[in-house]
Amino acid sequence: MIIVSNTSPINYLILIGHINLLPEMFQQIIIPQEVYNELSDVSAPSSVQSWIAEPPTWLKIQFVSQPSDVIVDLLDQGERAAILLAQELNADLLLLDDMKARRTATERKLAIAGILGILDQAATMKLIDLPAAVQSLQRTSFWASDSLFQKLLDKHCIQES
């Protein structure tokens, strides 16, 4: 399976202590050089900068050789590069969260998943304590509606009566 990731899913998985999910679920993740640059930027959280300073063996950093186009140019560098690399490699899955980037990827017939999709699959595989992971995610700068978080929790958590 070829999995390409944008900055956001990696960033938030590091922040909530679940970056190990990526190799457990997908074996290898490919990121474009631009995503590596964003993860190591001085504006990134220090824990993210520390993590990417010594990338794990399951993370492959690759340059994009496909030229950009007008639509993709409207996105930030990491999102643009991730979409182009996913197209170039004919990726099975593209990990990204930004709504505009997700729309662009979907229009290009790319399969996508974001941080909530990763947590959903990890909970299905019984790899995480979903309520604790969601609570950790809600303490970061990640934004999703309360109803979306609740829908995910309801799907996996048996309600006490």
The arrangement of secondary structure in 3-116, i.e. its CATH architecture, is 3-Layer(aba) Sandwich (3.40)
- Whether the full predicted model's pTM is greater than 0.85, yes or no, is yes
pLDDT by 10s per residue, the chain, length 161: 999 999 999 999 999 999 999 999 999 999 999 999 999 999 999 999 999 999 999 999 999 998 777 676 688 999 999 999 999 999 999 999 999 999 999 999 999 999 999 999 999 999 999 999 999 999 999 999 999 999 999 999 865 43
Answer yes or no: are the C-beta atoms of 91 and 85 closer than 8 Å: yes
pLDDT tens digit sequence for 17-61: 999 999 999 999 999 999 999 999 999 999 999 999 999 999 999
Q: Per DSSP, what are the bridge partners of residue 32? A: 62
